[in-house]
């Protein structure tokens, strides 16, 4: 039997293997410099991803489909970067190569907001020309905007592992360090834009901050003077662009009073002498609130929330309380106050506190009987024990409805907060011919309420109001109940029918509520139908 090499000798021979780079091992200071770059690169990746979703929001919204596209493409670009970065690190295992990758990538990150408007405008046109709806449009936009900088940032981690590994026995430790610091950086990159940067300085400046930060690191880290001058010049270009280029309106509109970004969404307030003042959010498909100083009724879906107490069997002077989930600029609260009186206690729940501020400043939302709450409507219901005569759900984020506000469990919670004659009224979107969303929402409500009614708005509006009631009623009885109240009688005189829903075949639950998939299908079918019509 041959002699076996002692384990100690084997370890010594392994330890004597030279640095993977073929150079002298990095000193402690240089290792920490590389790890610092890995940290800020990881932070920038998530920061760019979050900020990119805000670039898309004014054009394509913030649905789960859009988030899937952004996250999926980000992971794709990072995967490509990992592959290329690992191969390049073996061929050119030099610090300055890593620093150059970071410098160029950061410059491209800084350019993203300056090219976003024309690229995303092309993406908006792609929705119509490709007939592919939101997915294809957002895919084109994100692909053009993010591919190169995110791929280059993906090259950083494998490159950093190659550089800091001077001892094969410590390869696992070094890889763990790089992954740990870059992941911690990504955690910071996930929260900084949302909680601080975007609400404070905006999306464009958020991109610039990440770009300048990485360029500054590249300037400090590189040992070559020409490279330092190059990175300094690139930083100067970005700063000059930021100062000299007027961003203008993100989505120009006639009569634009104000636009901006909150922590949750993009918003605009647009004034029209004929229509009135409108609140528009994200992609601007629909109007969320409307206000005209000389007109109370809007001729839109808000007016039909006024019929809710009558559908519940109440007289106009019996209405005491109202909960609005999706307060917006306060259109419904103003109507209820002026028609039913300022002794009606109104709780207005709006998830975005900036929207509440807009309502007060631009929509005269100053009713003394209105209390506002900046929180999610469902969590509000879970924490209060009040009962309401009417619960109005107008929480659209066009064209979508938050799924947790259309499930059986939500309607059970809403029903438990109603008075004996209380009604839940829900604004639902549709097309002129496709009522599938209205049907599934009304059937879900029918699984909770003994009586569910639908009013399809007259032509010109692709909305239906769905009412869940505890008492039966007919359309004639509703019209009779508005007699003597001028504004109510005007709404009742319009050409609508009250149709009752008697089945509950399709029921959305918290576990399964594919509302966004259904809406996407409706939108795509409408786009295809419209394209066919134009072709003819």
Supply the range of the domain harboring residue 91: 25-244
d(CA 292, CA 514): 36
Tokens in use for 510?
Answer: 């918290």
Instruction: Please indicate, yes or no, if residue 273 is contained in any of the structural domains.
Output: no
The answer to the question of residue 294 being in a domain is: no
Q: Which two tokens stand for residue 107?
A: 């410059």
Domain end: 201, 225, 244, which one?
244
- C-alpha 320/C-alpha 13 separation (Å) is 86
Taken as a whole, the chain contains a residue count of 536
Are 399 and 502 in a shared domain?
yes
> Do strands 345-349 and 498-501 pair parallel, antiparallel, or not at all (unpaired)?
unpaired
Whose CA is closest to 64, among 401, 414, 441, 415?
401
pLDDT score of 507: 94
Together in a domain, 502 and 426: yes
Residue ending a domain, among 200, 220, 244, is 244
Given this model, what pLDDT does residue 382 score?
93
Q: At what angle do helices 225-244 and 95-130 cross, to 10 degrees?
A: 30
Residue among 505, 500, 507 at smallest CA distance from 469:
500
Distance from C-alpha of 321 to C-alpha of 37, rounded to nearest angstrom: 57
What pLDDT is recorded for position 338?
95
Question: What's the pLDDT score for residue 198?
Answer: 86
Longest dimension (CA), the chain: 111
Q: Is 2 in a helix, a strand, or coil? A: coil
How would DSSP label each residue in 274-311? TTEEEEEETT-SSEEEEEBTTBS--SSGGGGGGGHHHH
Q: Provide the CA 232 distance to its chain's centre, in angstroms.
A: 35
Query: How far, in Å, CA of 212 to CA of 200, rounded?
Result: 17
**Spans of the chain, pLDDT less than 50:** 1-3, 9-22, 127-131, 531-536
- pLDDT of res. 532: 38
The answer to whether residue 230 is domain-embedded is yes
16 in any annotated domain: no
Is 511 within the bounds of a domain? yes
Q: Kindly state the tokens that stand for 366.
A: 């100053």
- The tokens of 242 are what? 């930021």
In angstroms, rounded to a whole number, what is the distance separating the alpha carbons of residues 273 and 392? Answer: 28
Taking the CA atoms of the chain, what radius of gyration do you get in angstroms?
29
Yes or no: say if 428 and 437 are a contact pair by the CB < 8 Å rule. yes
Residues 229 and 361 in one domain: no
3-state secondary structure of 322: strand
> What pTM, to 2 d.p., does this model score?
0.76
Q: What is the DSSP letter of 18?
A: P
444 to each of 127, 410, 505, 507, how far by Cα in Å? 31, 10, 8, 4
- 305 in Cβ contact with 425 (< 8 Å): yes
Distances (CA, A) of 393 to 249, 348, 424, 425, 460: 31, 10, 7, 6, 21
Q: Is 370 found in the same domain as 228?
A: no
CATH value at residue 219: 1.20.1250
**How would you class 14 by CB atoms within 10 Å of its CB: exposed for 0-12, middle for 13-18, buried for 19 or more?**
exposed
On whether both 143 and 239 belong to a single domain, the answer is yes
Residue 280 has what pLDDT?
Answer: 86
Of 418, 369, 412, 414, nearest in space to 395 by CA:
414
Q: Is 29 exposed, middle or buried (0-12, 13-18, 19+ CB in 10 A)?
A: exposed
Which of 220, 222, 235, 185 has the alpha carbon at shortest distance from 100? 222
Same domain, 210 and 334: no
- CB–CB of 105/153 below 8 Å? yes
pLDDT, tens digit (0-9, with 9 covering 90-100), for 203-223: 889 999 999 999 999 999 998
**Beta strand pairing status for 463-469 and 388-393?**
unpaired
CB 365 within 8 A of CB 357: no
- Do the Cβ atoms of 271 and 262 come closer than 8 Å? no
Same-domain pairing of 177 and 40: yes
Residues 230 and 120 in one domain: yes
CATH code for the domain in which residue 408 is found: 3.40.50.150
Does residue 2 sit within a domain? no
84 falls within a domain: yes
- Residue 4 domain-assigned (yes or no): no
Locus of tokens 């402690």: 28
Among 212, 244, 276, the domain boundary falls at 244
Strands (E), 133-255: none
Phi/psi of residue 71, each to 5°? -65, -45
Domain shared by 306 and 174, yes or no = no
Residues 217 and 362 in one domain: no
Measured in whole angstroms, the distance separating CA 212 from the mean position of its chain's CA atoms is 26
For the beta carbon of residue 33, count every other beta carbon within 10 angstroms: 19
Same domain as 228, residue 363: no
Same domain, 358 and 478: yes
Backbone angles phi, psi at 407, to 5 degrees: -100, 165
Total structural domains within the chain: 2
Q: How far is residue 42's CA from residue 37's CA, in Å, rounded to a whole number? A: 8
- 139: how many CB neighbours lie within 10 A of its CB? 18
């Amino acid at each position: 039997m041959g002699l076996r090499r002692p384990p100690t000798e084997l370890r010594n021979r392994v330890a004597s293997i030279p640095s993977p780079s073929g150079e002298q091992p990095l000193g402690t200071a240089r290792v920490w410099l590389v790890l610092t770059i890995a940290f800020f690169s990881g932070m920038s990746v998530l920061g760019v991803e979050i900020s990119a979703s805000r670039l898309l929001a004014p054009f394509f919204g913030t649905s789960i489909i859009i988030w899937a596209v952004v996250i999926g493409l980000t992971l794709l670009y990072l995967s490509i970067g990992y592959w290329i970065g690992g191969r390049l690190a073996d061929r050119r295992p030099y610090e300055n190569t890593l620093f150059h990758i970071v410098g160029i990538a950061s410059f491209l990150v800084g350019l993203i907001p300056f090219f976003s408007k024309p690229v995303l405008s092309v993406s908006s046109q792609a929705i119509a020309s490709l007939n592919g709806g939101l997915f294809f449009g957002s895919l084109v936009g994100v692909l053009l905007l993010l591919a190169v900088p995110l791929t280059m940032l993906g090259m950083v981690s494998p490159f950093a592992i190659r550089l800091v590994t001077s001892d094969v026995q410590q390869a696992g430790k070094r890889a763990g360090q790089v992954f740990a610091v870059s992941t911690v950086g990504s955690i910071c990159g996930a929260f900084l834009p949302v909680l601080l940067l975007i609400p404070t300085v905006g999306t464009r400046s958020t991109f610039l901050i990440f770009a300048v930060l990485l360029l500054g690191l590249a300037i400090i880290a590189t040992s070559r003077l020409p490279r330092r001058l190059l990175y300094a010049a690139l930083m100067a270009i970005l700063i000059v662009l930021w100062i000299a280029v007027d961003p203008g309106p993100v989505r120009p509109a006639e009569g634009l009073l104000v636009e901006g970004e909150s922590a949750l969404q993009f918003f605009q307030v647009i004034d029209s002498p004929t229509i009135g003042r409108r609140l528009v959010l994200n992609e601007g498909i629909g109007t969320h609130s409307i206000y005209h100083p000389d007109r109370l009724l809007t001729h839109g879906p808000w007016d039909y929330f006024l019929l809710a107490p009558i559908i519940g069997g109440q007289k106009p002077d019996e209405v005491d309380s109202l909960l609005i989930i999706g307060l917006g600029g306060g259109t419904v609260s103003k109507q209820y106050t002026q028609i039913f009186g300022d002794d009606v206690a109104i709780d207005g729940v709006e998830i975005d506190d900036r929207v509440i501020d807009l309502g007060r400043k631009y929509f005269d939302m100053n009713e003394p009987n209105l209390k506002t709450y900046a929180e999610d409507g469902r969590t509000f219901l879970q924490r209060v024990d009040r009962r309401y005569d009417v619960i109005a759900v107008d929480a659209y984020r066009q064209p979508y409805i938050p799924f947790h506000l259309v499930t059986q469990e939500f309607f059970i919670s809403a029903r438990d907060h109603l008075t004996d004659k209380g009604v839940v009224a829900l604004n639902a979107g549709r097309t002129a011919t496709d009522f599938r969303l209205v049907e599934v929402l009304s059937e879900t409500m029918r699984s909770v309420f003994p009586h569910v009614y639908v009013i399809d708005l007259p032509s010109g509006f692709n909305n239906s109001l769905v009412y869940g009631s505890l008492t039966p009623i007919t359309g004639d009885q509703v019209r009779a109940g508005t007699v003597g109240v001028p504004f109510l009688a005007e709404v009742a005189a319009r050409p609508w029918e009250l149709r009752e829903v008697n089945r509950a075949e399709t029921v959305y639950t918290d576990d399964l509520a594919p509302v966004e998939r259904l809406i996407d299908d409706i939108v795509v079918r409408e786009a295809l139908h419209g394209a066919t019509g134009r072709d003819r």
